[in-house]
Structure 1
C-alpha cells in the first residue's frame, strides 16, 4: 500500500507537496484524490481525515493521516531519504519555508476575500498585500544566497509562492524592484517539477 494525497484546485500548499513528490520520486507511489476544500462548506470526507477540513492531507500506511504542507513535505523527504531538509542548515530552511508559507497564506486570503465577500474590504486586502510585499523584500535583501545554494525544501516553497503570485495576483507585479528574486524565479520556475505542477483553473 502506498500514499494517498487529498488535494483541491490550484492550492499553493498542494502544489508544494506535489513538487516534493516529484523531487523525491514518490509520485508513482501516491494516489491523488480531489477533495472539496471550500472554507465555508468543507468536504465531510476531508474532515474525517483532517478535522480542519483543509488540504493537503496525506493518508499513509504506517500511521495517522498527516496534514499541514510543512509536515507532509518533511515526511516525504524522510520517507524518500532525500536531503530537502539538511540538518546542517535546518533552521534556515525551516525559517525560509515559513516565510514562503506566510506569503502563500496572505495571497490565498486575498483570493477568498474577493470570492466570498460581496464587497471585499479594500484596507484588509491591502494589509494582506503588505505582508506579501514585506516578505518579498526580505527574500530579496536577506535570502538570495540561500536561494542560490543547494536545493532544499525552502526553495520549493519560495518557488511555489512566487508561482502563485503570478497565477492569482499578476496585476501586483511582484518582480518590480526585486531584480535578484525575479532572476532566480526565471530559472527556478523552469525546473521540471515546477513545470509539471503549473496551476490550472
Structure 2
C-alpha cells in the first residue's frame, strides 16, 4: 500500500436531514431564484446560484477502510479558514408544509465559538472508532452559526498499525461555508406555487 491513505472518505455537504430543514442565503431577489431543488440536485443548484448554507450545515461523512486491515479513527478536528460578519443576503427556505424523520446529529459544532470542536452527542460514543473494508462508519456533523460567515473544514485523524495521518474532509476541495441568517428577509416556495413568497414570521 506504500504511503497511500488506508481510508476512503466520501462527503455529502448538502444532505438534507429533513425536507424542510435546509436554508440557503442568496444575493438575489426572489424573482431571480430558481425553485428549490430535490436533495440529490442540491449541489448543482448551490453551485449555479452562488448559494451559501444559512445557519446550520448538515454534513454526512462515510468512512471505509481500504485493504484488509483495521483503521482506528482517533478524532475529528474542526479547522477554520476564515470568519467574518454574516452575509446580508436573503434567506431561502428549501421546504414548506413538509416533514419527516430527522436523523440523529451525533456530532455538533458551534462555529461561533472561539475554537470550535466536534462534540459527540449522547447517541454516539466518543472517538476513537474503528473501520475496515467490510465495516464502514457514517458520521453526521451539524455545524451552526448565528453571528458569522465561516469557511471551515474537518480533519479526520487516523492510525493503522505503525502508520498515522489525517484526511481533510471538505466540499469537493473547497472549505465548507456557513453563514448566520438571523434577521434576514426570508422566503418560501409553497407547494403548487410558481414563485417565492415572504415566509410567515421571517426566517433565520
- For normalisation by structure 1, the TM-score amounts to 0.27
Task: Select the structure with the greater relative contact order (CA < 8 A; seq sep ≥ 6).
Answer: 2
Question: Which structure's residues are more often strand, by fraction?
Answer: 2
Question: Which structure's residues are more often helix, by fraction?
Answer: 1
